C-alpha cells in the first residue's frame, strides 16, 4: 500500500504530540528512522512558529516547519522564511474592527507569535497555568496594548486570527463577517473556535508549496491529522492517516485510521512504512 514516501506531514496537537505535549520514545525512534531513510519530516500546525515545542523544533530531523495553518513556511536549518500567506494589514485591521463589535475573545497571529491583549493573556494565565498547554501559551504570546495598533501601518500582516466563540450566534456572526469582507476563509475547530486566514491559505496549499520547494511530488507524501483544519492537507497528500481520536470528518476523509496520539499512532504507521 505504501508507495515511495519522501515526505511526512504531521499535525502536532492530538497527532504527533501526546496529550501532555511531548513526543513519546516510540515516536522519537520512528522519526529518527524515517530521517535516516532520507524522508523529510514536516510539522504542519495551527500553532504560530514561536509555539512549536522545543521537543519538536530542536530535533535535527526537523528541517522545515509549516505554522499558522499554512500561512508560514520556515526553513529551520537556514533560519529563514520561504513562504508567507498572510492577510494584508488593511484587511487584518478591518476584521479586527468588526470582531470588536462581537462578544468574543480573539487574537491575531503575526511575526511567528500570537498577540494577546492583557485581558486575553490574563484569561490564559487563569485557564492554562499548571496544564500541559502552559508552556505553549506563555512562550508563544506577546502581550500588547491594542490589536489595532499592530496593524496601523502596511508592514505587519496577520498570519491568522484565532477566535473563541461563546455561542452559536457569535459563530454565525464571525462566519458572516469573514464572508462579507472577502479574500478570507475560515475553519471551525470543534464547537467553539474559528481560525480565519487569507483565502487559499491552508495546510494543503502549504504542503504543495513545500513539496515544490523540495522537488517532491505530493503523491509521495503521507499526512497525519486529527482536527478539522487538517482536512485540506490530508486531501492533498498521497496517503492520509487519521488518528483514532480524530474528528469524524477527518476519519471519513482518511485512507487509514491509526491508533490515538497517546498510543503512538504516528509511530505505528511509520514503522510499517519503514519495515524492510
**How is the chain classified by DSSP, letter by letter?**
------EEEE-IIIIIS-TTS---HHHHHHHHHHHHTT-EEEEB-SS-GGGS-HHHHT-TTB-EEEEGGGTEEEETTTTEEEEE-PBPHHHHHHHHHHHTTSS-EEEEEETTEEEEEHHHHHHHHHHHTTSTTHHHHHHHEEEES-HHHHTSSSS--BSEEEEE-SSHHHHHHHHHHHHHH-SEEEEEETTTEEEEEETT-SHHHHHHHHHHHHT--GGGEEEEE-SGGGHHHHHHSSEEEE-TTS-HHHHHH-SEE---GGGTHHHHHHHHHT--
Whether residues 235 and 264 share a domain: the answer is: yes
Residue 55 included in any domain: yes
Judge if 135 and 186 occupy the same domain: yes
Does the residue 265 lie in any domain? Answer: yes
Q: Are residues 51 and 131 in the same domain?
A: no
Residue 19 pLDDT exceeds 80: yes
Q: What is the pLDDT of residues 91-123, one digit of tens each?
A: 999 999 999 999 899 999 999 999 999 999 999
> How many domains does the structure of the chain reveal?
2
Indicate whether 180 and 118 sit together in one domain.
yes
Query: In this structure, are 113 and 194 located in the same domain?
Result: yes
The verdict on 72 and 155 lying in the same domain is no
19 in any annotated domain: yes
Over residues 30-49, the pLDDT tens digits come to 999 999 999 999 999 999 99
On the 0-12 / 13-18 / 19+ scale of CB atoms within 10 A, 88 is middle
Does 159 lie in the same domain as 115? Answer: yes
Examine residue 2 and state whether it is found in any structural domain, yes or no.
no
Residue 120's domain is classified under what CATH number? 3.30.1240.10
Q: Of 198, 218, 238, which residue sits at a domain end?
A: 198
**Which of 114, 140, 138 shows the shortest CA–CA distance to 52?**
140
Q: What are 215-267's pLDDT values in tens digits?
A: 999 999 999 999 999 999 999 999 999 999 999 999 999 999 999 999 999 99
**Paired strand residues for 107:** 162
> For residue 2, what pLDDT band results from cuts at 50, 70 and 90?
low
| CA 31 and chain centroid, separation | 19
Of the three residues 198, 222, 251, the one that is the final residue of a domain is: 198
Same domain, 79 and 113: no
Report the CATH number at residue 18.
3.40.50.1000
CA distance 44 to 57: 12
- Examine the domain organization and report whether 103 and 190 are in the same domain: yes
CA atoms of 46 and 56, how far apart (whole Å):
14
CA distance 126 to 161: 22
Instruction: Provide the domain limits for residue 147.
Output: 89-198
Q: Are residues 214 and 147 in the same domain?
A: no
> Of 177, 198, 219, which residue sits at a domain end?
198
Same domain, 109 and 239: no
Domain for residue 1, yes or no?
A: no
Half-sphere exposure for 65 (CA within 13 Å, toward CB) = 28
Q: Is residue 153, in this structure, part of any structural domain at all?
A: yes
Question: Both 109 and 61 in a single domain?
Answer: no
Distance CA 253, CA 233 (A): 11
Average pLDDT taken over every residue of the chain? 95
Amino acid at each position: 500500500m505504501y508507495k515511495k514516501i519522501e515526505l511526512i506531514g504531521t499535525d502536532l496537537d492530538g497527532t504527533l504530540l501526546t496529550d501532555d505535549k511531548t513526543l513519546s520514545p516510540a515516536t522519537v525512534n520512528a522519526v529518527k528512522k524515517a530521517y535516516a531513510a532520507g524522508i523529510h519530516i514536516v510539522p504542519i500546525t495551527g500553532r504560530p512558529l514561536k509555539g512549536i515545542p522545543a521537543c519538536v523544533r530542536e530535533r535535527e530531523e526537523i528541517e522545515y516547519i509549516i505554522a499558522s495553518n499554512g500561512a508560514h513556511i520556515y526553513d529551520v536549518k537556514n533560519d529563514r522564511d520561504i513562504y508567507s500567506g498572510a492577510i494584508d494589514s488593511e484587511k487584518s485591521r478591518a476584521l479586527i474592527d468588526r470582531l470588536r463589535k462581537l462578544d468574543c475573545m480573539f487574537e491575531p497571529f503575526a511575526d511567528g507569535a500570537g498577540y494577546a491583549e492583557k485581558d486575553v493573556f490574563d484569561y490564559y494565565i487563569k485557564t492554562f497555568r499548571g496544564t500541559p498547554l502552559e508552556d505553549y501559551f506563555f512562550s508563544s504570546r506577546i502581550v500588547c496594548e491594542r490589536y489595532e495598533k499592530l496593524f496601523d501601518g502596511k508592514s505587519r500582516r496577520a498570519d491568522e486570527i484565532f477566535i473563541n466563540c461563546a455561542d452559536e450566534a457569535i459563530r454565525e456572526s464571525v462566519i458572516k463577517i469573514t464572508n462579507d469582507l472577502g479574500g478570507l476563509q475560515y475553519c471551525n475547530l470543534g464547537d467553539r473556535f474559528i481560525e480565519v486566514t487569507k483565502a487559499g491559505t491552508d495546510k494543503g496549499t502549504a504542503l504543495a508549496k513545500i513539496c515544490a520547494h523540495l522537488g517532491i511530488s505530493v503523491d509521495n507524501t503521507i499526512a497525519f491529522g486529527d482536527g478539522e483544519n487538517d482536512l485540506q492537507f490530508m486531501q492533498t497528500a498521497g496517503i492520509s492517516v487519521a488518528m483514532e481520536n480524530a474528528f469524524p470528518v477527518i476519519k471519513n476523509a482518511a485512507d487509514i485510521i491509526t491508533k490515538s496520539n497517546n498510543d503512538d499512532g504516528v509511530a505505528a504507521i511509520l514503522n510499517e512504512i519503514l519495515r524492510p
